[in-house]
Structure formats: C-alpha cells, structure tokens
Amino acid sequence: MDGPSPYRVTRLEHSLQSASRAEDDGADEETIACAQLHDIGDVLCPPNHSEAAAAVLRPFVSERNWWIVRHHGLFQGYYWFAHYGRDPDERDRHRDSPHYEATVAFCENWDQNCFDPAYPTRSLAHFEPLVRALFAREPRPFV
Ligand SMILES: [Fe+2]
Ligand SMILES: [Fe+2]
C-alpha cells in the first residue's frame, strides 16, 4: 500500500487519512479501524477491492461496518463514474438498505476527500493498536 500510486498520496497514506478523519470526527474504534482497512485488497484486486476488504473484516465487525466497506467502492462511483461513462447514481439501487446513508457519509467524509497531502494524517503506528484489537476479537461465525 506504500508503493507508487496514481493519486497525490500513496494508498497507505489514503487509508491513514481516512482513519485520521474518522478519528477527528469522533468515530468509535471499530469504525476507525474499518476506515484504516477499507482499501486493503486494492493492490491485489482493484475492481473488487471492497469485496476483498469486507471479506477479511466480516467476522470481526458489525453488519453495518461490513456493509459499508463491502459497498464503498460502488458508492465512491458517485464521485468519478461520470468520467468513465457510468451512472454516478448506481449506488441508488441500494437506497432501501438501512446502511445506505451511512455508506454515503463514509465516502463523503472519510474516503473521497482522503487524498490531501496537507492533511495532518496520523502514522500507521498510531492506529496499530486499534487494528490489533480488532483482529484479536473472537471471530463472529456467519454462513
Ligand atoms: Fe476503495
Ligand atoms: Fe478509499
């Protein structure tokens, strides 16, 4: 995640900025950890990186946070699909989801704006305890 990227910051810096902004907005620790981890998989499988990240997180997070991470890629399309001939409102097919508004807010506040080299982004070491605590939880079984 710390390698070359097409953005103004590396993917690692983007993720750290997402977690930093979530922390600055008073999000709970699980949500901050999800912000830190929402783009894992982006190096291996960019087109479905949301799905990859959500699969890793699923046993350890709430249904709501899983759903947000799972769908954030589609919801992010609101900001760029138009440049590639896609409908920016594709996310609206999920309007009936109880997590729709939370996912819109995640993208607006903690994702699409997290490419700013000037933001006071915290270090990976700062968030490491949150991430370790998350994966130290008893995994929640699901089918
Ligand atoms: Fe993403
Ligand atoms: Fe992202």
Per-residue model confidence as pLDDT tens digits over 14-57: 999 999 999 999 999 999 999 999 999 898 899 999 999 999 99
Per-residue pLDDT band for 10 (boundaries 50, 70, 90) equals very high
What is the maximum alpha-carbon separation in the chain? 43
Span from the CA of 122 to the centroid of ligand 2 (angstroms):
16
Q: Are 9 and 17 in contact (CB under 8 A)?
A: yes
How far apart are the CA of 21 and the centre of ligand 2, in A? 12
All domains of the chain, ordered by start, with CATH? 11-135 (1.10.3210.10)
Near ion ligand 2, which residues have CB within 5 Å? 39, 111
Centre of ligand 1 from the C-alpha of residue 110, in Å = 11
Dist. CA 33–CA 36, nearest whole Å? 5
pLDDT digit string (tens) for 63-97? 999 999 999 999 999 999 999 999 999 999 999 99
Confidence of residue 1 (pLDDT cuts 50, 70, 90): very high
* Ligand closest to CA 11: 2
Q: What is the spatial distance between Cα 78 and Cα 35, in angstroms, rounded to a whole number?
A: 19
- Region 117-128 average pLDDT: 98
- Side-chain half-sphere CA neighbours of 46 within 13 A: 5
Please say if the pLDDT value at position 141 is more than 90. Answer: no
**Ramachandran angles phi, psi of 58, nearest 5°:** -50, -45
Task: Tell me the CB-side half-sphere exposure of residue 75, using CA atoms within 13 A.
Answer: 26
Average pLDDT over residues 99-128: 98
User: Residue 54 carries which DSSP code?
Assistant: H
**Over 80: is that where the pLDDT of 58 sits?**
yes
| Distance (Å) of CA 22 to CA 80, 84, 95, 143 | 22, 29, 23, 30
